Structure 1
Amino acid sequence: MGSARAEIEVDRKSFSGLRVRLFDEGDIPAVRDIMIQHHATTVFRNQAFSDWKLKKHFQTILSRPPRMVGIVAEWGGTPSGVAWATADSYMLSDGPLFANVQVIAVDLTLGPTRRAKIFLALVAAVRQWAVSLNASHSFIHVTTGSNIKATDRLMKAAGGRFVGGAYVVQV
């Protein structure tokens, strides 16, 4: 993949100091570190982190399938957050596409205000991508099982509306 990085426009007044663009191969080490941090906060943290599986996800994203996007937020030129989304139609309809966000992860070593700005910029970028596909909805799946109240506040700040939930039934 060359070094060309497509930038995604976000409201510069709300997110000054932040650059949002498509994921590229040079982002792998920093994004891997962010994903390790993210994994450690989830209900799945007792499962070993899989570098093999993450590498496979990176390869898929870098192949640039038409209905998939990997987005990176940079703060000060350093990758500080990542979002990964796919688009498809609802399983019981031939209607418009939905964007489904598999992950939004932010560098947890940053302060809370900066993390919130990065998160909101990534949501805005996903929304922009979904609009470019004429998608009717974007679903951001929150399956971390941690910081639920803070996540709810951020999602509401991003214009999100709670429509369901995730339940874990351990076997």
Structure 2
Amino acid sequence: VRSHKGKRAQETETLISKELAYWLRHRAHERAANFEELVIHVQRRIPEASREDVQQVLDSQFHRDGVRKRFERRGDDQWIATPSTTLRDQRLLSHTLVQYLRRQAEGRRATVEQMLRHAQQQLPAVDEGRLERVLTQEKHVDGRPRFEQEGDFWIATSTTSAEKRMSK
């Protein structure tokens, strides 16, 4: 994949980038891999990809915002796939809402309007649509919903680690 890329080279680079990001994000035991593991994985899926192609993708790919690198080096030879800007913003909003709900004195619950006001103080770009997506779609690692609705109110559900601490 060279700087004067033809259409086929661009397609190969895109395939390599997608494969690396998917594989790094979906590894069950850890989210990082060394360069050799990445080369082996990519070459299994894309036989024409060279070591240099993989290195080029790791060094040069950016998210759609054009600012954040798609891959980051961790330590000497470990690489991770960085979260997209949208996903990062969604996680930040989710974290902000959980913290707000946990601080609520009245049963740790709040209405959408209360949460929207609070979220917009912290993250001005938040609108009601994004807030409702986070409330209805965010999940804990084990797949349980992160938020539950009780009438007009929303609550943050417990993490399994919090439940384990409380049962001791």
- Whether TM exceeds 0.5 here: the answer is no
Q: Please state which band the TM-score falls in when normalised by the shorter chain.
A: under 0.3
Return the TM-score normalized by structure 2: 0.24
Asked which structure has the greater RCO (Cα within 8 Å, sep 6+), the reply is: 1
Higher share of residues assigned strand: 1
Higher share of residues assigned helix: 2
Answer with 1 or 2: which has the greater Rg: 2
Return the TM-score normalized by structure 1: 0.24
